[in-house]
Structure 1
C-alpha cells in the first residue's frame, strides 16, 4: 500500500491577481476549463496535467473530504478598499505525485500575500506532520515535534 499525504493550505492572494494566474488557479481547483498555457509546473514531465486541487469528494485516505474554495475576502478588505482572494485547499496527494504537487504549491505561494504559517502536510504511513511556512524566498516544510514530546494544554469548555 502506498503512502498518501494530507495537504492543507490556506492563503490570501492579491486582489489584482493577473488573469492568467487566476484562470490557471481556477482550473487547478476544478472550477474552470484548462487554459491554453499552464505555468504552475512542467506538467508533461509528470505525464500530463490534472486538476490537482479539485475538491468536493470524500478523501480516499483520510477522514473528511477533499475541498477547495476561492472567494473574495469581502469582510477583510485592504486599506485601499480592495478585496484579496481567500483560498483554502485540503486534498489527498499520492506519494508518486508529491513532487509535482509541491511544485504547484510553490507556484501558488509565489503569488500569495500570506507570510508565515500557511498549512501542513501529514504523511499517512508514519503519521508525521510538517508545517508549510511561506517566506520571501519560497516556503519550507518544518517538522512538527514528535508525539512523545508534545506539551499538552488541556481544554475545557466549562
Structure 2
C-alpha cells in the first residue's frame, strides 16, 4: 500500500503575473493547454510533465475532493488598484511524486505575494500535520506539535 500527502495551499499572486507564468499555472491547474516551455520543475526524471494541481474529483487518498481555483480577487484590490490573483489548491500527492510536486510548489511560491502561513501538508502514514510558511527567502515546512495543554471548543 502506498502513502500519500494531502497538500493545501492558499495564496495571492501579483496582478501583473507574466503571461508565460500565468499560462503554465493554468495548465498545472488543468485549466488550459500546456505552454511551449515549462519552468515549474525538472520534469525529465519523472517521465514528463503532468497537471499536478488539476482538481475537480474526489480525492483518491483523503476525505473530500481535490480542487484548484484561480480567480481575480476583485473584492481585495491592491492599494495601487491592481487586482491580485487568488489561488487555492487541495490535492493528494503520491509519495513517489512528492519531490517533483514540491519543486512545483517552490516555483509557485516564488510567484506568490502572500507572506506567512500559506497551507499545510498531511501524511497518510501518520496523524501529523505540517504548516507551509512562506517568507522572502523561500518557504519552510514546519511540524505541528501537540501543545502541553490543549484548548478545544465543541461546536454543537
- TMscore range, shorter length: over 0.9
Map of 1:88 onto structure 2: 88
Map of 1:50 onto structure 2: 50
CA distance in 1, matches of 2:63, 2:82: 36
CA distance in 1, matches of 2:22, 2:43: 18
Map of 1:153 onto structure 2: 152
Consecutive unaligned residues of structure 2, counting only runs of 5 or more, are none
CA distance in 2, matches of 1:44, 1:109: 22
Consecutive unaligned residues of structure 1, counting only runs of 5 or more, are none
CA distance in 1, matches of 2:57, 2:149: 32
CA distance in 2, matches of 1:36, 1:153: 50
Q: How many residues align?
A: 156
What does the per-residue CA deviation read over 1:57-83, in whole Å, with 9 as the maximum and x for residues that have no partner?
A: 000010000000000000000111110
What does the per-residue CA deviation read over 1:9-68, in whole Å, with 9 as the maximum and x for residues that have no partner?
A: 000000000000000000000000001100000111111100000000000010000000
What are the residue-to-residue correspondences of 1:12-91 with 2, within 5 Å?
12-91=12-91
SS at 2:133 equivalent: strand
TM-score, structure 2 normalization: 0.96
The 1:26/1:153 distance shift into structure 2, 3 A limit, reads same
SS at 2:21 equivalent: helix
SS at 1:101 equivalent: helix
SS at 2:55 equivalent: coil
Map of 2:132 onto structure 1: 132
The 4+ residue runs of structure 1 with deviation greater than 6 A are none
SS at 2:83 equivalent: coil
Map of 1:117 onto structure 2: 117
Map of 2:100 onto structure 1: 100
The 1:55/1:104 distance shift into structure 2, 3 A limit, reads same
